[in-house]
């Protein structure tokens, strides 16, 4: 198989969250091609289940100019913070809940043709309310509610649930529930795209 070697690489933009990198890549047929890559720190999201109900938050998203139903989620933007701790923190901060049982539900590459962004979606069960953290910016108007998981699946298939992590998480949770939650990975499972955030259990 061809080795897609990076012949040159340059960061052309540095933003608050993302960077833009321009790579020149060796292509099959002795040619090269420019690939513009959005460099992203990665993120976590949480499917919190309470019986047959799933927790959704609603938040304004500026790039699309409207509010979206989503999962509690956040960036991996705290140096050295393990992905599981980030997920637990986001569930508290955004929704005011904690959970006793955690598993990895799915890992997803959101758009691998243009970005290295990866999101780990956790399944959180045995949830209980706790004190919610002080919010800022769009989160000041964030709301959360419990909805039947079956209704969330219907919303996904109807095009009403559009956030990618929420779509994947809700559909995966419904399948995991159908399987009796068998075969899920432990919360510290290795994360191929972000090994530093989830290096796996010590040997």
pTM over 0.75, yes/no: yes
Q: Is 139 a catalytic residue?
A: yes
Helices (H) and strands (E) in the chain, counts: 3, 10
The alpha-carbon radius of gyration of the chain (Å, integer) is 18
Q: Which of 70, 93, 131, 139 is catalytic?
A: 139
For 3-25, the pLDDT digits (tens) are: 999 999 999 999 999 999 999 99
Mark whether 34 and 52 lie in a shared domain: no
For 26-66, the pLDDT digits (tens) are: 999 999 999 999 999 999 999 999 999 999 999 999 999 99
Dist CA 48 CA 120 (whole Å): 14
Are 35 and 6 a contacting pair, CB within 8 Å? no
Q: In which domain, by residue range, is 18 found?
A: 6-39
Mark whether 103 and 124 lie in a shared domain: yes
Mark whether 51 and 132 lie in a shared domain: yes
CA atoms within 13 A on the CB side of 110: 24
For 91-119, the pLDDT digits (tens) are: 999 999 999 999 999 999 999 999 999 99
Dist CA 114 CA 33 (whole Å): 14
Mark whether 156 and 139 lie in a shared domain: yes
pLDDT averaged over every residue in the chain? 95
Supply the CATH number for residue 151's domain.
3.90.79.10
User: How many domains are there within the chain?
Assistant: 2
């Amino acid at each position: 198989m061809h080795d897609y070697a990076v012949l040159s690489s340059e960061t052309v933009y540095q933003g608050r969250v993302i960077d833009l990198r321009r790579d020149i890549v060796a292509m099959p047929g002795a040619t090269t091609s420019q690939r513009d890559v959005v460099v992203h720190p990665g993120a976590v999201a949480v499917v919190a289940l309470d019986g047959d109900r799933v927790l959704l938050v609603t938040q304004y998203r500026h790039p699309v100019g409207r509010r979206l139903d989503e999962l509690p989620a956040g960036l991996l933007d705290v140096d050295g913070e393990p992905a599981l701790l980030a997920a637990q923190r986001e569930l508290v901060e955004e929704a005011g809940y904690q959970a006793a049982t955690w598993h990895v539900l799915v890992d997803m590459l959101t758009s691998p043709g243009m970005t290295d962004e990866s999101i780990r979606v956790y399944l959180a069960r045995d949830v209980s309310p706790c004190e919610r953290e002080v919010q800022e910016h769009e989160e000041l108007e964030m709301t959360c509610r419990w909805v039947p998981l079956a209704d969330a699946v219907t919303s996904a298939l109807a095009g009403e649930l559009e956030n990618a992590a929420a779509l994947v998480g809700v559909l995966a949770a419904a399948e995991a529930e159908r399987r009796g939650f068998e075969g899920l990975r432990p919360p510290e499972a290795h994360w191929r795209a972000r090994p530093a955030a989830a290096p796996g259990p010590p040997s």
